[in-house]
Amino acid sequence: MGRVAVVTGGTRGIGYAVTQRLKADGMQVAALYGGNDEAAMRCRDELGVLVLKCDVAESLECRAVLGEIESLLGPVEVLVNNAGVTRDASLHKMNDNDWDRVIRVDLNGLYNMTRPVIGGMRDRGFGRIVNIASINGQKGQFGQTNYSAAKAGVIGFTKALALETARKGVTVNAVAPGYIDTDMVAHVPQDVLETIKADIPVGRLGRPDEVARCVAFLAADEQGFITGSTLTVNGGQYMV
Ligand code: CAA
Protein backbone atom coordinates (compact mmCIF):
# COMPACT_ATOMS: atom_id res chain seq x y z
CA MET A 1 0.00 0.00 0.00
CA GLY A 2 1.23 3.49 -0.81
CA ARG A 3 1.78 6.31 1.64
CA VAL A 4 -1.27 7.88 3.23
CA ALA A 5 -1.57 11.45 2.00
CA VAL A 6 -3.97 14.24 2.94
CA VAL A 7 -4.54 17.20 0.65
CA THR A 8 -6.55 20.11 2.05
CA GLY A 9 -8.63 21.98 -0.50
CA GLY A 10 -7.93 18.85 -2.52
CA THR A 11 -10.99 18.71 -4.73
CA ARG A 12 -10.57 21.83 -6.88
CA GLY A 13 -7.87 23.89 -8.57
CA ILE A 14 -4.29 23.24 -7.57
CA GLY A 15 -5.46 20.85 -4.84
CA TYR A 16 -7.31 18.68 -7.33
CA ALA A 17 -4.19 18.42 -9.47
CA VAL A 18 -2.15 17.48 -6.39
CA THR A 19 -4.67 14.81 -5.38
CA GLN A 20 -4.60 13.41 -8.91
CA ARG A 21 -0.83 13.42 -9.05
CA LEU A 22 -0.23 11.79 -5.65
CA LYS A 23 -2.80 9.12 -6.46
CA ALA A 24 -1.01 8.46 -9.78
CA ASP A 25 2.21 8.11 -7.77
CA GLY A 26 0.57 5.28 -5.81
CA MET A 27 -0.42 7.07 -2.63
CA GLN A 28 -3.68 6.56 -0.75
CA VAL A 29 -5.07 10.05 -0.88
CA ALA A 30 -7.74 11.74 1.22
CA ALA A 31 -8.90 15.00 -0.34
CA LEU A 32 -10.48 17.48 2.05
CA TYR A 33 -12.76 20.30 0.98
CA GLY A 34 -14.39 23.26 2.67
CA GLY A 35 -17.78 23.81 1.08
CA ASN A 36 -18.29 23.02 -2.59
CA ASP A 37 -20.10 19.66 -2.38
CA GLU A 38 -20.66 19.40 -6.12
CA ALA A 39 -16.98 19.75 -6.99
CA ALA A 40 -16.11 17.36 -4.17
CA MET A 41 -18.41 14.62 -5.44
CA ARG A 42 -17.05 15.11 -8.94
CA CYS A 43 -13.51 14.72 -7.61
CA ARG A 44 -14.47 11.55 -5.73
CA ASP A 45 -16.09 10.05 -8.83
CA GLU A 46 -13.30 11.06 -11.21
CA LEU A 47 -10.32 10.16 -9.06
CA GLY A 48 -11.73 7.45 -6.79
CA VAL A 49 -10.17 8.93 -3.67
CA LEU A 50 -11.54 9.41 -0.18
CA VAL A 51 -13.22 12.84 -0.05
CA LEU A 52 -14.17 14.43 3.27
CA LYS A 53 -15.54 17.81 4.28
CA CYS A 54 -13.40 19.83 6.66
CA ASP A 55 -13.06 23.55 7.30
CA VAL A 56 -9.36 23.86 8.12
CA ALA A 57 -10.12 27.02 10.11
CA GLU A 58 -11.85 24.84 12.73
CA SER A 59 -9.37 22.90 14.85
CA LEU A 60 -11.93 20.42 16.22
CA GLU A 61 -13.10 19.56 12.70
CA CYS A 62 -9.49 18.98 11.65
CA ARG A 63 -8.84 16.64 14.57
CA ALA A 64 -12.02 14.71 13.89
CA VAL A 65 -11.38 14.30 10.17
CA LEU A 66 -7.77 13.30 10.69
CA GLY A 67 -8.92 10.66 13.17
CA GLU A 68 -11.37 9.35 10.60
CA ILE A 69 -8.69 9.19 7.91
CA GLU A 70 -6.36 7.39 10.28
CA SER A 71 -8.97 4.75 11.07
CA LEU A 72 -9.85 4.28 7.37
CA LEU A 73 -6.43 4.48 5.71
CA GLY A 74 -3.79 4.49 8.46
CA PRO A 75 -1.48 7.14 9.94
CA VAL A 76 -0.98 10.27 7.85
CA GLU A 77 2.49 10.27 6.29
CA VAL A 78 2.16 13.05 3.72
CA LEU A 79 0.31 16.29 4.39
CA VAL A 80 -0.27 18.92 1.73
CA ASN A 81 -1.62 22.12 3.27
CA ASN A 82 -3.19 23.64 0.19
CA ALA A 83 -6.54 25.07 1.33
CA GLY A 84 -6.66 28.80 0.84
CA VAL A 85 -9.07 31.65 0.27
CA THR A 86 -8.79 35.27 -0.82
CA ARG A 87 -10.81 38.30 0.31
CA ASP A 88 -9.09 41.03 -1.69
CA ALA A 89 -9.54 44.68 -0.69
CA SER A 90 -7.24 47.61 0.01
CA LEU A 91 -6.59 47.78 3.74
CA HIS A 92 -8.47 51.04 4.09
CA LYS A 93 -11.57 49.23 2.78
CA MET A 94 -11.01 45.84 4.41
CA ASN A 95 -13.40 44.64 7.08
CA ASP A 96 -12.70 42.41 10.05
CA ASN A 97 -14.27 39.36 8.40
CA ASP A 98 -12.03 39.70 5.32
CA TRP A 99 -8.98 39.79 7.54
CA ASP A 100 -10.05 37.01 9.91
CA ARG A 101 -11.23 34.52 7.33
CA VAL A 102 -8.03 34.66 5.31
CA ILE A 103 -5.79 34.37 8.36
CA ARG A 104 -7.90 31.59 9.84
CA VAL A 105 -8.00 29.47 6.69
CA ASP A 106 -4.65 30.24 5.05
CA LEU A 107 -2.48 30.39 8.16
CA ASN A 108 -4.27 28.95 11.19
CA GLY A 109 -5.30 26.05 8.94
CA LEU A 110 -1.66 24.94 8.84
CA TYR A 111 -1.51 24.73 12.61
CA ASN A 112 -4.90 23.00 12.85
CA MET A 113 -3.94 20.31 10.34
CA THR A 114 -0.28 19.84 11.20
CA ARG A 115 -0.46 19.83 14.99
CA PRO A 116 -2.47 16.58 15.22
CA VAL A 117 -0.19 14.63 12.86
CA ILE A 118 3.27 15.92 13.66
CA GLY A 119 3.80 13.75 16.75
CA GLY A 120 3.05 10.56 14.85
CA MET A 121 5.35 11.53 12.00
CA ARG A 122 8.18 12.18 14.46
CA ASP A 123 7.58 8.90 16.30
CA ARG A 124 7.55 6.88 13.07
CA GLY A 125 10.60 8.71 11.70
CA PHE A 126 8.96 9.69 8.43
CA GLY A 127 6.85 12.53 7.15
CA ARG A 128 6.48 14.85 4.19
CA ILE A 129 4.75 18.17 4.68
CA VAL A 130 4.26 20.51 1.73
CA ASN A 131 2.65 23.89 2.32
CA ILE A 132 1.22 25.96 -0.50
CA ALA A 133 2.42 29.55 -0.13
CA SER A 134 2.14 32.17 -2.89
CA ILE A 135 4.15 34.63 -4.93
CA ASN A 136 2.14 37.26 -3.08
CA GLY A 137 3.53 36.13 0.27
CA GLN A 138 6.99 36.67 -1.19
CA LYS A 139 6.57 40.02 -2.95
CA GLY A 140 3.35 41.51 -1.50
CA GLN A 141 0.33 42.38 -3.63
CA PHE A 142 -1.87 45.48 -3.82
CA GLY A 143 -5.22 44.56 -2.26
CA GLN A 144 -3.91 41.54 -0.36
CA THR A 145 -2.55 42.60 3.02
CA ASN A 146 -4.47 39.70 4.56
CA TYR A 147 -3.41 37.08 2.01
CA SER A 148 0.19 38.31 1.69
CA ALA A 149 0.55 38.25 5.49
CA ALA A 150 -0.89 34.75 5.74
CA LYS A 151 1.25 33.39 2.90
CA ALA A 152 4.42 35.00 4.26
CA GLY A 153 3.46 33.30 7.52
CA VAL A 154 3.23 29.98 5.71
CA ILE A 155 6.85 30.35 4.67
CA GLY A 156 7.95 31.19 8.22
CA PHE A 157 5.99 28.24 9.61
CA THR A 158 7.64 25.99 7.03
CA LYS A 159 11.16 27.02 7.99
CA ALA A 160 10.60 26.79 11.74
CA LEU A 161 8.95 23.36 11.59
CA ALA A 162 11.64 22.12 9.19
CA LEU A 163 14.25 22.89 11.85
CA GLU A 164 12.25 21.11 14.53
CA THR A 165 11.77 17.93 12.51
CA ALA A 166 14.97 17.70 10.45
CA ARG A 167 16.42 14.93 12.59
CA LYS A 168 13.21 12.96 12.66
CA GLY A 169 12.89 12.07 8.97
CA VAL A 170 10.21 14.68 8.44
CA THR A 171 10.78 17.25 5.70
CA VAL A 172 8.75 20.46 5.56
CA ASN A 173 8.77 22.55 2.41
CA ALA A 174 6.70 25.22 0.70
CA VAL A 175 5.68 25.66 -2.91
CA ALA A 176 4.96 29.25 -3.90
CA PRO A 177 2.79 29.37 -7.03
CA GLY A 178 2.37 32.48 -9.07
CA TYR A 179 -0.83 33.12 -11.04
CA ILE A 180 -2.28 29.73 -11.94
CA ASP A 181 -5.32 29.08 -14.12
CA THR A 182 -7.85 28.35 -11.33
CA ASP A 183 -11.17 29.70 -10.04
CA MET A 184 -9.28 31.83 -7.54
CA VAL A 185 -7.41 33.72 -10.23
CA ALA A 186 -10.52 33.87 -12.42
CA HIS A 187 -12.06 36.07 -9.71
CA VAL A 188 -9.46 38.80 -10.25
CA PRO A 189 -11.07 41.62 -12.27
CA GLN A 190 -10.33 41.11 -15.95
CA ASP A 191 -8.50 44.41 -16.47
CA VAL A 192 -6.29 43.77 -13.42
CA LEU A 193 -5.58 40.23 -14.59
CA GLU A 194 -4.46 41.50 -17.98
CA THR A 195 -1.83 43.72 -16.37
CA ILE A 196 -0.70 40.82 -14.19
CA LYS A 197 -0.39 38.50 -17.19
CA ALA A 198 1.68 41.10 -19.02
CA ASP A 199 4.10 40.86 -16.08
CA ILE A 200 4.69 37.10 -16.41
CA PRO A 201 7.84 36.48 -18.47
CA VAL A 202 6.64 33.04 -19.62
CA GLY A 203 3.66 34.88 -21.11
CA ARG A 204 0.78 32.85 -19.68
CA LEU A 205 -0.87 31.67 -16.48
CA GLY A 206 0.51 28.52 -14.91
CA ARG A 207 -1.33 25.21 -14.98
CA PRO A 208 -2.38 23.36 -11.81
CA ASP A 209 -0.49 20.24 -12.93
CA GLU A 210 2.72 22.30 -13.13
CA VAL A 211 2.37 23.04 -9.43
CA ALA A 212 1.27 19.50 -8.59
CA ARG A 213 4.44 17.95 -9.98
CA CYS A 214 6.51 20.19 -7.69
CA VAL A 215 4.45 19.09 -4.70
CA ALA A 216 4.87 15.44 -5.70
CA PHE A 217 8.62 15.93 -6.04
CA LEU A 218 8.86 17.32 -2.51
CA ALA A 219 6.51 14.65 -1.12
CA ALA A 220 8.44 11.69 -2.52
CA ASP A 221 10.16 9.12 -0.31
CA GLU A 222 13.42 9.61 -2.23
CA GLN A 223 13.48 13.29 -1.38
CA GLY A 224 14.89 13.51 2.13
CA PHE A 225 17.48 16.26 1.86
CA ILE A 226 15.41 19.26 0.83
CA THR A 227 13.76 20.82 3.85
CA GLY A 228 12.74 24.32 4.84
CA SER A 229 12.84 25.42 1.22
CA THR A 230 10.37 27.39 -0.86
CA LEU A 231 10.07 26.32 -4.48
CA THR A 232 8.72 29.15 -6.62
CA VAL A 233 6.54 28.23 -9.59
CA ASN A 234 5.59 31.53 -11.15
CA GLY A 235 6.69 31.73 -14.79
CA GLY A 236 9.54 34.07 -13.83
CA GLN A 237 7.23 36.76 -12.44
CA TYR A 238 9.24 37.08 -9.24
CA MET A 239 12.69 35.62 -8.79
CA VAL A 240 13.97 34.87 -5.31
N1 CAA B 1 -0.58 49.07 -7.94
C2 CAA B 1 -0.75 50.39 -7.77
N3 CAA B 1 -1.93 51.00 -7.82
C4 CAA B 1 -3.00 50.24 -8.02
C5 CAA B 1 -2.89 48.85 -8.19
C6 CAA B 1 -1.62 48.26 -8.16
N7 CAA B 1 -1.44 46.95 -8.34
N8 CAA B 1 -4.13 48.35 -8.36
C9 CAA B 1 -4.97 49.40 -8.29
N10 CAA B 1 -4.29 50.53 -8.11
C11 CAA B 1 -4.81 51.88 -8.01
C12 CAA B 1 -5.90 52.12 -9.01
O13 CAA B 1 -5.37 52.51 -10.23
C14 CAA B 1 -6.70 53.22 -8.35
O15 CAA B 1 -6.01 54.44 -8.48
P16 CAA B 1 -6.82 55.83 -8.61
O17 CAA B 1 -7.62 55.93 -7.31
O18 CAA B 1 -5.76 56.85 -8.75
O19 CAA B 1 -7.69 55.68 -9.80
C20 CAA B 1 -6.62 52.85 -6.90
O21 CAA B 1 -5.41 52.06 -6.75
C22 CAA B 1 -7.80 52.02 -6.49
O23 CAA B 1 -7.66 51.74 -5.16
P24 CAA B 1 -8.86 51.11 -4.37
O25 CAA B 1 -8.45 50.82 -2.99
O26 CAA B 1 -10.09 51.96 -4.57
O27 CAA B 1 -9.03 49.73 -5.17
P28 CAA B 1 -10.33 49.01 -5.60
O29 CAA B 1 -11.25 48.93 -4.44
O30 CAA B 1 -10.83 49.56 -6.87
O31 CAA B 1 -9.81 47.52 -5.95
C32 CAA B 1 -8.62 45.49 -5.54
C33 CAA B 1 -8.71 47.01 -5.27
C34 CAA B 1 -9.90 44.80 -5.14
C35 CAA B 1 -7.53 44.96 -4.67
C36 CAA B 1 -8.32 45.23 -7.01
O37 CAA B 1 -7.25 46.03 -7.41
C38 CAA B 1 -7.94 43.77 -7.24
O39 CAA B 1 -8.76 42.88 -7.23
N40 CAA B 1 -6.64 43.50 -7.46
C41 CAA B 1 -6.13 42.15 -7.69
C42 CAA B 1 -5.50 41.63 -6.46
C43 CAA B 1 -4.85 40.31 -6.82
O44 CAA B 1 -3.92 40.23 -7.60
N45 CAA B 1 -5.31 39.24 -6.21
C46 CAA B 1 -4.77 37.95 -6.49
C47 CAA B 1 -5.87 36.91 -6.36
S48 CAA B 1 -5.33 35.33 -6.94
C49 CAA B 1 -4.32 34.80 -5.73
O50 CAA B 1 -4.16 35.38 -4.70
C51 CAA B 1 -3.61 33.51 -6.01
C52 CAA B 1 -2.15 33.66 -5.80
O53 CAA B 1 -1.64 33.14 -4.82
C54 CAA B 1 -1.35 34.38 -6.81
Residue 215 CB burial class (10 angstroms; 0-12, 13-18, ≥19): buried
Sheet order of strands, 28-33 included = 50-53, 28-33, 4-7, 78-81, 127-132, 170-177, 230-233
64 Cβ closer than 6 Å to some ligand 1 atom: no
- What secondary structure letter does DSSP report for 105? I
Residues 6+ positions from 54 with CB-CB distance below 8 Å: 8, 32, 33, 34, 61, 62, 65
Which of the listed residues 86, 88, 91, 99 should we mutate to test ligand 1's pocket, taking the one with most ligand atoms within 8 A of CB?
Answer: 88
Which has the closest alpha carbon to 76: 145, 6, 2?
6
Contacts of residue 45, Cβ cutoff 8 Å, sequence gap at least 6: none
pLDDT digits (tens, 9 = 90+) for 103-125: 999 999 999 999 999 999 999 99
- Contact 188 CB / ligand 1 (< 6 Å): yes
pLDDT band at 184 (very low <50, low <70, confident <90, very high): very high
Ligand 1 contact, 163 CB (< 6 A): no
Look up the pTM and report it.
0.97
CB 218 within 8 A of CB 231: yes
pLDDT at 57: 98
Output the CA 103–ligand 1 centroid distance in Å: 19
Q: Which pLDDT band, with edges at 50, 70 and 90, does 185 fall under?
A: very high
The predicted structure's pLDDT at residue 1 = 83
Per-residue pLDDT, averaged over 60-68, amounts to: 98
Find the largest Cα–Cα distance for the chain: 52
- Give the model confidence (pLDDT) of 139-181 as tens digits: 999 999 999 999 999 999 999 999 999 999 999 999 999 999 9
Inter-CA distances, 49 with 69, 74, 123, Å: 12, 14, 27
Helix ranges (DSSP H) in the chain:
13-24, 37-47, 59-73, 96-102, 109-124, 135-139, 145-165, 183-186, 190-198, 208-219
Provide the 3-class DSSP secondary structure of residue 50.
strand
pLDDT of res. 40: 97
Please state, in angstroms and rounded to a whole number, the distance separating the CA atoms of residues 25 and 23: 5
Q: Residue 179 phi/psi, 5° resolution?
A: -85, 115
Where exactly are the structural domains of the chain? 4-233
pLDDT by residue (tens digit) across 65-90? 999 999 999 999 999 999 999 999 99
Separation CA 68–CA 129 (nearest Å): 19
Which residues are known to be catalytic? 147
Query: Looking at the domain that runs over 4-233, which CATH code has it been given?
Result: 3.40.50.720
Q: Tell me the percentage of the chain whose pLDDT exceeds 90.
A: 100
